[in-house]
Structure formats: C-alpha cells, structure tokens
Amino acid sequence: MKKTALLAAGTVAALTAASITLASPGQADSSTSSAFGISAEGPVPIEPMPAISSSDGTLKQSSAGSLPDNPLASATISALYAGNRKAGITLVDASVGGGLLEQLPPPPQELVDACQQATDQVPDLPTLPEVPGLPIPTPTTPAQLSDVCKVLLTPPDSLLGAKVIEVSCQGTKGDVRVAGLKLLGQAVDVPSTAPNTSIPADPLLNVTINKQTKNADGSFSVQGLVVSLGDGTEVLTLGSATCGTAAAGRAPAQAPAPKPVTRSLPVTG
C-alpha cells in the first residue's frame, strides 16, 4: 500500500506550555511599612491607633489630629507617614495615666499614718487596692514608700508626660527624640536616646526609650517610649514606626512563545 503524507510536526517546546511564567530575576520579598500613635497590652488593651501602613511602597500620610479617646493616654499628632523603607510619627503634649489616677481610691489609714512618719523601716501595710491597669505595689523599702505616698496622697496630673515624642526609621536605622519628659509630675533628664535605653525603675512604672527590633519578615521597628505600669501588668507603647521594603513590582516575565518548525517527512510502507 502506497502512502504519501506530509507530516507537520512542532518541536517539543511547541507541544509544551507556551505560557510558562518565569520568575522575574532579582525580585525580592516585600514587607509593610507602618506607624501608629499608641497601643497597650494588659487589663486595658488598646489596638494600635491611629495607624497608617504602606505595603506597596507608596507614601501614605495622615493629617494632624489627636489620639482617639482611650483611658490611658492623650496626645496631639503632628506627623504620621509610611512608605518604602521609611515611616514615622510625632506626638506632641503626650500624657499617660491621667485617667487611671482619677480612679485611685482613698488610701487606707495605715498608709496615711506611715506616710506621715519619718522612718527607716516600712511598717506592715495591708494590700493596697488595685486600679485596672495600675496595681499599686505594697512598698517594701523606705524609697518605695516615699514614692507611693507621693502618688496616693497628692496624685500628679499624669504618670508620664512629654512635650515631644518623635519616632522615625529609614531602612534599618531608627531615631527617637524626646523633649520635656516628666515622670509622676517631676521633670526627668533623658539619659540617652540610644537604642533600648531604660530609665531607672520606679515602683509604679518603668520606661524604655528607642526600643528597636528586627522583625522576622525583614522589616525594622522603632518604638518611642515603652511604658511598663505595675511591674508589667500593663505595657503601653507611645509612638512606633516600622520600615519595610516594597518588592520590585515588576510583572512576571513571560516565556516567548516557541515557533513551530515544519518538516516534510516521507512515510513509506
């Protein structure tokens, strides 16, 4: 039997997917840049607010305003922004704990008596009543007794105040500026704004300035003031900036469609 045929055949590439997607060379993972004014963990939790974020590298900015109402802190916001490898926030006239101090119950008479006596020993005192977010520790040293007396007998306007808290990051570098800091109504010199600087512990609060963290997703975070109330019962963050890196953003490259190759193949038989 005579057979004559013209067989049109393509290459193997023509028979496989012509739409294979190739990864764009050099394309890196991305992480989000963000900033917020306040957050808290403890008996009085506060989700980060006000907050702004940028996942694609576009610069996002928010106009000036105030911290939303909350029982822990107040401040005016003069800057809030996030973009590719940069973020920042500036808080003005920040105040922490004014609302908590308003909830302080009258001190027990045993404490009033102890506060009015000059002594090198701390008498046995009853467990002091707790305020949500601010448990008052029973003092065990004369210095602690003096501090507790000042707070309970003549409460200050706030636990912490600051004229300015400025937090920013650029890439993997962070910067914090604090001006006009007051603790329990008393002016305090900021010893340094070097990363992870702590102010000496107080019976009611402890403060870390410029807390810096490298995150698992490759981003970098800077927190202005981290305030621990009641020995860590409530932890408050004032001013936070996180710098992430946007991906290159190029669309995936498409493999060029292979050109079929036609050959004439004689078939005999």
Question: Which residues on neighbouring strands pair with residue 225, listed in sequence order?
Answer: 209, 238
Give the pLDDT confidence of 81-139 residue by residue, as tens digits: 999 999 999 999 999 988 888 888 888 888 888 888 866 778 787 777 777 777 777 78
What is the average pLDDT across 5-26? 38
How many angstroms separate the CA atoms of 32 and 85, rounded? Answer: 9
CA 163 to chain centre: 20
How many angstroms separate the CA atoms of 192 and 57, rounded? Answer: 32
pLDDT at 19 exceeding the cut of 50: no
How many angstroms separate the CA atoms of 236 and 161, rounded? Answer: 13
Both tokens of 155, joined, read 């409460």
Which residue did the predictor score with more confidence, 14 or 188?
188
* Per-residue confidence (pLDDT) for residue 172, from 0 to 100: 95
Question: Which residues on neighbouring strands pair with residue 243, listed in sequence order?
Answer: 220
* Per-residue confidence (pLDDT) for residue 75, from 0 to 100: 94
How many angstroms separate the CA atoms of 148 and 142, rounded? Answer: 10
Question: Domains of the chain: which residue ranges?
Answer: 33-100+155-243
Lowest mean pLDDT among 27-31, 92-96, 168-172: 27-31
DSSP letter at 265? -
* Per-residue confidence (pLDDT) for residue 195, from 0 to 100: 95
pLDDT tier for residue 201 given thresholds of 50, 70 and 90? low
Which residue did the predictor score with more confidence, 254 or 190?
190
* Per-residue confidence (pLDDT) for residue 1, from 0 to 100: 46
Both tokens of 180, joined, read 């006009």
Long-range contacts of 171-179 (CB under 8 A, 24+ apart): 171/85, 171/86, 171/220, 171/243, 172/214, 172/220, 172/243, 173/220, 174/210, 174/212, 174/220, 174/221, 174/222, 174/241, 175/210, 175/222, 176/209, 176/210, 176/222, 176/224, 176/239, 178/209, 178/224, 178/225
Helices then strands, each counted (H, E), the chain:
4, 18
